[in-house]
Amino acid sequence: MPSGPSVVWLRADLRIVDNPAFSAAAERGSPTVVLYVLDEDPAVARPPGAASRWWLHGSLTALGDALAARGVPLILRRGPAQRIVRELAEELDAGAVYWNRRYGAGERAQDAAIKREARGARREARSFDGSLLFEPWTIERPAGGPYAVYSAFWRACLATGGPRQPLPTPALDGLPDAPAGDDLADWGLLPAIPWAAGLTETWTPGEAGAQARLTEFARTVDDYARGRDRPGADATSRLSPHLRFGEVSPHQVWHAVAAGRGGAAAAKFGAELGWREFNYSLLFFTPDIAARNLREEFDAFPWRTAEPGELERWQQGATGFPLVDAGMRQLWRTGWMHNRVRMVTASFLVKNLRLDWRIGEDWFWDTLVDADPANNAANWQWVAGSGVDAAPYFRVFNPILQSRKFDPEGDYLRAWVDELAGVPAPGVHEPVGTPGYPPPMVDLKRSRAEALAAYDSIRR
């Protein structure tokens, strides 16, 4: 086996601490080079949307700086990852290639092919569990096969004894005179529109930003249980994009916030991490989760065809329903939306407008900084009722009742809908006739009844 340097190939794990691939390279003891490949082949993985590309640029910039401070080079290459990993390993006469696993079908096939090539070259190639608390194939029903119900799945996860402890900071040695890579600016990841200004004002991509956010949330987690459903409160973790890009590991989050803390808030947040695990189990066992209904009866659902301008009103936050509009405008300006409002805006699209959930999933994929191949699709299917463990179809989120309940003073509504800045509660929840604000685009009661009738037609 060659005794040359180690190559650590990063994907959705853009951090140094608690990174099993880095720990393996440090244990091996040879000089290390770090590779990131922008592989945009849709047969391998879904190419990132615009907001994710913005985040990726910032995350790679931060990671490159952090590695350079340790004397370790970050090599950027663009193209088919299987070829690039092989060519770099041959160029370096590398003794080992390490990476952390991903769970899509194309990603797994690519990993297996790289391992086969490495064996043929008598080169060590190993993958690790750096992105999930529990590997999908380790959590099965007693009778075999994956769980289809979240509550049973999460009980089985917790019965394993809990997630491992985070790994320590690895001691890495860089390789002098490492090969050159691409210039990150040449990848064109940053959008050429003013939209990016709102993202920059809101987020700090990178491992340091992730750790700062985790530290702050761990300090205030006791507010989570009572404030998590209020979109106007700063009670949620906002760790989702950092988890999506692996700038912080779920093990770090679990042990900083959920494990051993006690209390309703820590337990509730731990259960939310459980939903992420469950959604990745769904992705692992049903790789086309973003393309097909997990409940096959929805294949016959009579979705409407959007009328001209109808979809754009939803995308731009001009539906005439303040909570929907506030959420969609928050999404556009910051690349993120509060979870309660995500459910409301998704319900409005698939039930009140009765447009295919895949249309909304695709818009969120392009505009969310935390657009995740498992969570995004699974959560849309949950709202649509087409998922394996989904909200019942008759649960239609009424945006007026939801804003009255979770934003009673209208602070969130006024923060994001400029036309409502001077409208006091309770009128801000139904501001019909407010100058400059659009009228409601649907009748909530009638559209709900039509959606339920459509659902009854596929049940029959």
> 380, 382, 398, 416: which is the annotated catalytic residue?
380
The answer to whether residue 339 is catalytic is: yes
Q: Which helix (H) or strand (E) holds 315?
A: helix 310-315
What tokens appear for 62 in the block? 């931060």
> 357, 363, 382, 416: which is the annotated catalytic residue?
357
Q: How far apart are CA 340 and CA 323, in angstroms?
A: 10
Look at residue 113 and give its three-state secondary structure.
Answer: helix
Query: Which distant-in-sequence residues (6+ apart) come within 8 Å of 378 by Cβ?
Result: 278, 279, 282, 283, 289, 387
In sequence order, the β-bridge partners of residue 8 are 34, 98
Q: Which helix (H) or strand (E) holds 9?
A: strand 6-10
Q: How far apart are CA 173 and CA 273, in angstroms?
A: 34
Q: How far apart are CA 36 and CA 49, in angstroms?
A: 18
> 135, 187, 195, 303: which is the annotated catalytic residue?
303
The answer to whether residue 90 is catalytic is: no
Note whether 326 and 416 are within 8 A (CB): yes
The answer to whether residue 99 is catalytic is: no
> 272, 419, 430, 450: which is the annotated catalytic residue?
272
Query: Which distant-in-sequence residues (6+ apart) come within 8 Å of 188 by Cβ?
Result: none
Q: How far apart are CA 341 and CA 315, in angstroms?
A: 14
Look at residue 387 and give its three-state secondary structure.
Answer: coil
What tokens appear for 45 in the block? 């993985």
- Peptide bond before 426: cis, by omega within 30 degrees of 0? yes
Q: How large is the C-alpha radius of gyration of the chain?
A: 23
Mark 190-209 as b/e (b = at least 16 C-beta within 10 Å): beeeebbeebeeebebbbeb
> 140, 187, 339, 419: which is the annotated catalytic residue?
339
Q: Which helix (H) or strand (E) holds 89?
A: helix 81-92
What are the φ/ψ torsions at residue 32 (nearest 5 degrees)?
A: -120, 135
Look at residue 366 and give its three-state secondary structure.
Answer: helix
What are the φ/ψ torsions at residue 455 (nearest 5 degrees)?
A: -65, -40
> 99, 275, 365, 416: which is the annotated catalytic residue?
275
Measure Cα distances from 430 to 231, 337, 360 in Å. 18, 21, 24
The answer to whether residue 357 is catalytic is: yes
Q: Catalytic residue positions?
A: 272, 275, 303, 339, 357, 380
